[in-house]
Structure 1
Amino acid sequence: MNTKPFNGKAIYNPSGKAGEYSYWACNFYTGCSNDCAYCYCKKGVMSHVWSNAPKLKKCFKDEKHAIEVFERELMQNLPELQKYGLFFTFTSDPMLDSTIELTKSACSRCIRNNVPIKILTKRAEFSKDFIDLFEHDKNHGRSTDWIKLYAIGFTLTGHDELEPNASTNAERIKVMQKLHNAGFKTWASIEPIVDLKASLSCIEQTLGFCDLYKIGLMSGGKLPNKEELRMFVGRVCYKASAYGAKVYWKDCIKKHLGRDIISAATVDRSYNIFK
């Protein structure tokens, strides 16, 4: 990867905790109607532009301009994006009714240019369109190679009450299984950990159809008991290994434990879900 960070209007190199999710990311909107109680965007540097309704970033005139900028920045960084993939998105949910069309438009340009796509959402409704499109192409003898460029992820906390306008955790898990069965790569963001029991339950419910877990603590929240966290880590590593899944432990967990986490299931930031 280039040592000099790229900071475009749509595409950029995230840093800090966001950088643990992807080398490259795209943000079109700020704000999110899921209205999660723990959302980090409601606090700190994002708070002054945050709302419960997604708004196109001010650097874009309209959605047509946004996709023009995106395509230009995509081509400008194409070799590295083909290598590392592009994450959607850190400042909203890319699969909301109000954001999904621009997400789809951007993804179609990624597909045409062989750029892998990493989506993270709390929505379940969109999945039927993705599966129907795949089945349509397959049944009509069209190429379905594009499916290999999608890794669709769901945030799973096990606490619907903290995510009042999102699809329920149960709905997200059900959709994850359908997508995985259809052939899509699937992954889960087990972050934030609201409580260890609920997070472990989400992992156990998705074993066998989740390829990768990214696990992190609540930002600014109360840290879990170290001994309980050690037991949680051990159980997750054991269960993930048994099902052939991979686990990325975020730096906040390793820092709290005071050690690295070594197991057959554990991967580092350079892990490529597409390979």
Structure 2
Amino acid sequence: MPHRLLRTLLGLAAAALTGSALAAEVQVAVAANFTAPMQAIARQFEQDSGHRVLAAYGATGQLYAQIGNGAPFELLLAADQSTPARLEQDGLAVPGSRFTYATGALVLWSAQAGYVDDQGQVLRDGQFRHLALANPKAAPYGLAAYQVLEQLGLRRAVAGKLVEGQSISQALQFVATGNAELGFVALSQVYQDGEIAEGSAWLVPATLYQPLHQDAVLLRPGADNPAAQALLDYLKSPAAAAIIRRYGYQL
């Protein structure tokens, strides 16, 4: 084999080995409300970096329990600030890595067009059989929904109509399938590019619930994984910010 061809083949092999060594996987635990934007961010990140994202979605409280029980997640994108802070205190997260990646919003949503008015009067009228929301002990958006009901003085009036999902995704499913006429869900689940994708919704005034600041944190298993740090940095990038805003989040 000519020396020049041999050198070329060796160079290609070395480049391939280098590329595979640089590419890595990162396991991410993601709050259910952030499913759609995370899927979009992961696709763009993988294209830009060559790394692979393995994401699991669920209620923040459930993800916290899994991390505490040894689940090998390397990043957490929570739906609150207290859970990542608690993981730092527990020694399960890297100190100083925590930051707010998005601030969410709560909506009262129905799959039926025209069912929910833009002032939320349908909630006060009470002419519905089921109202879906997420478990407030596991999901920050569920807690926010209960805060809204308390602020409006409706907690007792609707108590017998409440249907709790284990996560905000399950609450959305109850409404989307018609098992509940309406429900409290994350704006990001029903909103894209400036409008409600389908059905009808009331954007709940932010004064009725505590701010839904969502923090990300690097977990101990990801401390030495360059892909984990790269994804954490990518969440702060203009490319990620553009995606996050498309789903109705504030930065």
So what's the TM-score if we normalise by structure 2?
0.29
Q: Which has the higher contact order (CA 8 A, sep 6+)?
A: 2
